[in-house]
Amino acid sequence: MHHIPDRMHLMLSGGDSTHEIYRPPGRDVLQGIQVPTFAIAPEAVLPSVSNTTTLHVAKEARAGLSATPKTLSPWLFYDEAGSDLFEQITELPEYYPTRTERSIFAAHAPEILCEAAATSNGTPAPMLTLIELGAGTATKTGILLAEAVRQQGSVVYQPVDVSETALAEATDNILSSIPGVTVRVQVADYTREALPLNRLANTRTLALYIGSSIGNFAPEDARDVLRNLRAQLLPGDTLLLGTDLAPNGGANANKTVATLLAAYDDAAGTTAAFNLNVLTRLNRDLGTDFDVENFCHRACWNPAQSRIEMHLESITAQRVHIPANSAGPALAIDFAQGESIHTENSYKFTTTAVETLLASANFKSTKSWQDPQHLFAVTLATAI
Stretch in the footprint of ligand AVJ (CB under 6 A) among 30-38, 207-215, 223-231, 280-288:
207-215
Does the footprint of ligand AVJ cover residue 132 (CB under 6 A)?
no
Please say which residue, 155 or 226, places its beta carbon nearer to ligand AVJ. 226
Q: What are phi and psi of 49, to 5 degrees?
A: -130, 85
Nearer to ligand AVJ, 264 or 349 (CB): 264
191 touches ligand AVJ by CB under 6 A:
no
Binding to ligand AVJ (CB under 6 A): which residues in 247-306? 264, 271
| Binding positions for ligand AVJ, 65-94, rule CB under 6 A | 89
- Helix (H) or strand (E) segment spanning residue 319: strand 318-322
Q: Which stretch binds ligand AVJ (CB under 6 A): 106-114, 181-189, 208-216, 252-260?
A: 208-216
Judged by CB, which is closer to ligand AVJ: 77, or 369?
Answer: 77
The 3-state secondary structure of 59-103, one letter per residue? HHHHHHHHCCCEECCHHHHCCHHHHHHHHHHCCCCCCCHHHHHHH
Of 83, 158, 212, 314, the residue at the interface with ligand AVJ (CB under 6 A) is: 212
- Which residue number, 5 or 64, has a Cβ lying nearer to ligand AVJ? 64
The answer to the question of residue 216 lying near ligand AVJ (CB under 6 A) is yes
Min separation Cβ 90 and ligand AVJ, Å:
8
| Stretch of 23-31, 53-61, 140-148, 206-214 lying at the interface with ligand AVJ (CB under 6 A) | 206-214
Q: Judge contact between 292 and 276, C-beta under 8 A.
A: yes
Site size for ligand AVJ, by CB under 6 A? 11
Q: Is 346 one of the binding residues for ligand AVJ (CB under 6 A)?
A: yes
| Cα 245 to the center of its chain, rounded Å | 17
If one counts every other C-beta atom within 10 angstroms of the C-beta of residue 358, the result is 24
Contact between 211 and ligand AVJ by CB under 6 A: the answer reads: yes
User: Amino acid identity, residue 38?
Assistant: F
Residue 69 preceded by cis peptide, ω within 30: yes
- Taking contact as CB under 6 A, which single stretch among the options 37-45, 209-217, 282-290, 365-373 is the one that binds ligand AVJ? 209-217
Closer of 299 and 322 to ligand AVJ (Cβ) = 299
Task: Please choose, from the candidates 280, 285, 372, the residue with its C-alpha nearest in 3D space to the C-alpha of residue 47.
Answer: 285
Contacts 24+ apart (CB under 8 A), 311-320: 311/340, 311/341, 311/342, 311/343, 312/275, 312/276, 312/278, 312/279, 312/340, 312/341, 312/343, 313/338, 313/339, 313/340, 314/338, 314/339, 314/340, 318/291, 318/294, 320/65, 320/288, 320/289, 320/290
The distance of closest approach from Cβ of residue 24 to ligand AVJ in the complex, given in angstroms and rounded to an integer, is 23
Q: How far is CA 233 from CA 14, 60, 103, 133, 229, in A?
A: 17, 31, 28, 13, 7
Q: Which is nearer to ligand AVJ, 212 or 314 (CB)?
A: 212
Among candidate residues 142, 253, 187, 243, the one with its CA nearest the CA of residue 19: 187
What DSSP designation does 49 have?
B
Residue 97 near ligand AVJ by CB under 6 A = yes
Q: How far is CA 345 from the centre of its chain?
A: 13
55/85 with CB nearer ligand AVJ: 85
For ligand AVJ, the closer of residues 92 and 359 by Cβ is: 92
34 versus 213: smaller Cβ distance to ligand AVJ? 213
Q: Which of 132, 169, 265, 344 binds ligand AVJ (CB under 6 A)?
A: 344
Indicate the residue among 22 and 349 with the shorter CB distance to ligand AVJ: 349
One of 137, 213, 288, 340 touching ligand AVJ (CB under 6 A): 213
Q: By CB under 6 A, tell whether 98 contacts ligand AVJ.
A: no
DSSP one-letter string for 325-357 = BTTBS-EEEEE-TT-EEEEEEEE-B-HHHHHHH
Q: Is 161 in the site for ligand AVJ (CB under 6 A)?
A: no
CB atoms within 10 A of CB 277: 21
- Residues of the shown chain interacting with ligand AVJ in the complex, contacts defined by CB under 6 A: 89, 97, 211-213, 215-216, 264, 271, 344, 346
